Structure 1
Amino acid sequence: MAPHDAILGWDEDSNAEAYEAFTRAHPMYDATSRDLARRAHLRDASLVIDLCGGAGATARTILEALPAPARVVSVDNAAAMQRVGRRTLTDHRLSWITAPAERLADHVPAGSADAVVCNSAIWKTHTAAVFAAVAHILRPGGRFVFNIGGGFAGVRHPDEQSVRTRPSLKTLIRQIAVRDYGYTPPTASESPPKLPLDTVTRQLSEAGLTVVATEITAQHSTMAEKKAWLSIPVFAQPEGNFTHAQRMRILDAAYALVNADAPSVTSWLVVVAQRPRTTA
């Protein structure tokens, strides 16, 4: 089945509430949102699209960076996420569209957006279709800024490698699930990364967008934040036929084996693309 914004679990109220609570209690989304907003050059923007915007964590940051008259449109296919966002983020400059990212051009006029920002979620979409839709709605010179998790992009920041001296929380979760529940982990796959830079660059070019900057960045956190992240239902581990309560018991057992303040690092590939100012 084709990927889309509301993959299984995203459009559930319990997940949406837990996800939004995480974004307010922990710095990850605030830090990545600020980074993307800075790269999007929003000082003179009048319309910015928060693509796959969920409950509005990135929209909050974009609104802070925009001039007073500017507007933000948050687009996401998960109605549950947007219900939480509408309740917790009230700003007359922000509007919400419940739609797949691939259908962006059906809801935003051609050439009207100064920037499109997508934080952490481009992997869930048909990127070629999304890139074409973004190119359609960007004004000439407008920027498309997004990040891709290191695992999906096949990249790793040196800081991430430096902290991999002990088993990760995910590794411990699997070990405990094997020991206590007879869990059989999936066979390790040697398949290539889903969204390497060469694929992303090619698809952006085919859509009429030009890559103007890329960078591998590191998001620093702690095991305590990682535990909070893995407590969100859609991210809970391990895979397979477990209830959420079972996953949380396994998570608690794994977390008891680590130092809460131990560093955790996540790698990101950040991409800045632009619609050319003039056409040949």
Structure 2
Amino acid sequence: MAPQDAVLGWDEDTTAEAYAAFTHDFPMYGDTSRDLAHRAHLTDSRLVVDLCGGTGATAKAILALAPPGAHVISLDNAAAMQRIGRRTLTDPRLSWVTAPAEHVDHHAPAGQVDAVVCNSAIWKTDIAAVFAAARRVLRPGGRFVFNIGGGFAGVTHPDEQTGRTGPSLNTLIHQVAARDHGYTPPAADSKSPKLPLASVTEHLAAAGLDLVDTEVTAQHSTMAEKRAWLSIPVFARPAGDFTHAQRMEILKKAYAQTSPDAATVTSWLVTVTQRASRQP
């Protein structure tokens, strides 16, 4: 099953607007989308699915690499996100479908999709159901490419360690919340990763998808970008019984202890899979 918090808040205009503004102002989603699109091998593609496509950052990257005659389906469960995408990304090669990722096989023809790309969102889904549905829509040899945040996958790029010059913004947020609100932060690293590669590989095999390649990558950004990301309502911290206004006040105080240009690094586990070329 998908995590309980997977879709809560995403289908709200405030979140959608903040997410779209972040995507426009900062490079994270654009950079990761282009990386995944390159790995999907879109040169000869005719039909591509942008899974959990949000406001269209990944669809934009796919359209830039796919042939002129290719068609892209951007599928997402949050109508609020897609309303912005329809307004800001108009391309006759792009269709918007409001539906859960687990139902991708209801909206794309079986065995005819050249690639499925999912940026930053596979954790929000029931991966067993999504992998099986992706396999059904992919043509033999078609690729399913996605990434998983390092914290979810339990991986860390070396740059994340060597590039750190002080406490993370998340750590500072917890410290401010504890000081001002009596908040008790969760024990650091006390939980096992939610989506380790071993678990992902097991689900891929069960779905009939072959693991082609994995790579732990590093996304380099700044503290200012991290603050903007944590200002999006669904990402705001800390967890618990706080209003969004309280979280933003905590974020403001935590950010004041940093330098806007201080470097930050986020790790990603990038996974390339493929439907076997042989017929079942």
CA–CA separation in structure 1 for the residues paired with 2:59 and 2:269: 20
1:113-133 deviation line (CA, Å, top 9, x unaligned) = 000000000001010110000
Matching of residue 114 in structure 1 with residue 80 in structure 2: no
**Matches of 1:40 and 1:196, distance apart in 2:** 22
How far did 1:274 drift? 0.5
Does the CA-based 8 Å contact 2:152-2:196 persist in structure 1? yes
Q: Distance in 1 between matches of 2:124 and 2:90?
A: 27
The alpha carbon displacement at 1:198 in A equals 1.2
Mark the runs of 5 or more structure 2 residues left unpaired by the alignment: none
Cα distance in 1 for residues equivalent to 2:230 and 2:212 = 34
Name the residue aligned to 2:78.
78
Counterparts of 1:28 and 1:43 in 2: how far apart (Å)? 24
Asked if the contact 2:174–2:238 (Cα under 8 Å) also holds between the matched residues in 1, the reply is: yes
Q: CA deviation at 1:243?
A: 1.3
Are the equivalent residues in 1 in contact too, given 2:169–2:223 (CA < 8 A)? yes
- Counterpart contact for 1:152–1:194, Cα < 8 Å: yes
Shift of 1:252: 1.0
Would the aligned equivalents of 1:5 and 1:100 in 2 still touch at CA under 8 Å?
no
After superposition, the Cα gap between the structure-2 partners of 1:5 and 1:113, relative to the gap in structure 1 and judged at 3 Å, is farther
- Aligned match of 2:225: 225
Farther off after superposition, 42-51 or 162-171: 162-171
Spell out the pairing of 1:190-201 with structure 2 (5 A cutoff): 190-201=190-201
Matched, 1:207 2:207: yes
CA RMSD of aligned residues (A): 1.4
1-structure distance, mates of 2:4, 2:239: 20
Amino acid at match of 2:272: V
1-structure distance, mates of 2:16, 2:66? 26
TM-score, normalised via structure 1 length: 0.97
Q: Aligned partners of 1:277 and 1:23: how far apart in 2? A: 36
1:194 shift after superposition:
1.1
Q: Measure, in 1, the Cα distance between the counterparts of 2:178 and 2:144.
A: 43
**1:202-233 residue CA offsets vs partner (Å, 9 max, x unmatched):** 11111111011110000000001000000111
Q: How many residues align?
A: 280
Distance 1:5 1:237, change over 3 A: closer
| Superposition TM-score, scaled by structure 2 size | 0.97
Distance 1:230 1:32 in 2: 18
Identical columns (%):
69
Judge conservation of contact 2:2–2:127 (CA < 8 Å) in 1: no
SS in 2 for 1:35: helix
Task: Report the CA distance between 1:250 and its aligned residue.
Answer: 1.1
How many Å separate the matches in 1 of 2:61 and 2:2? 30
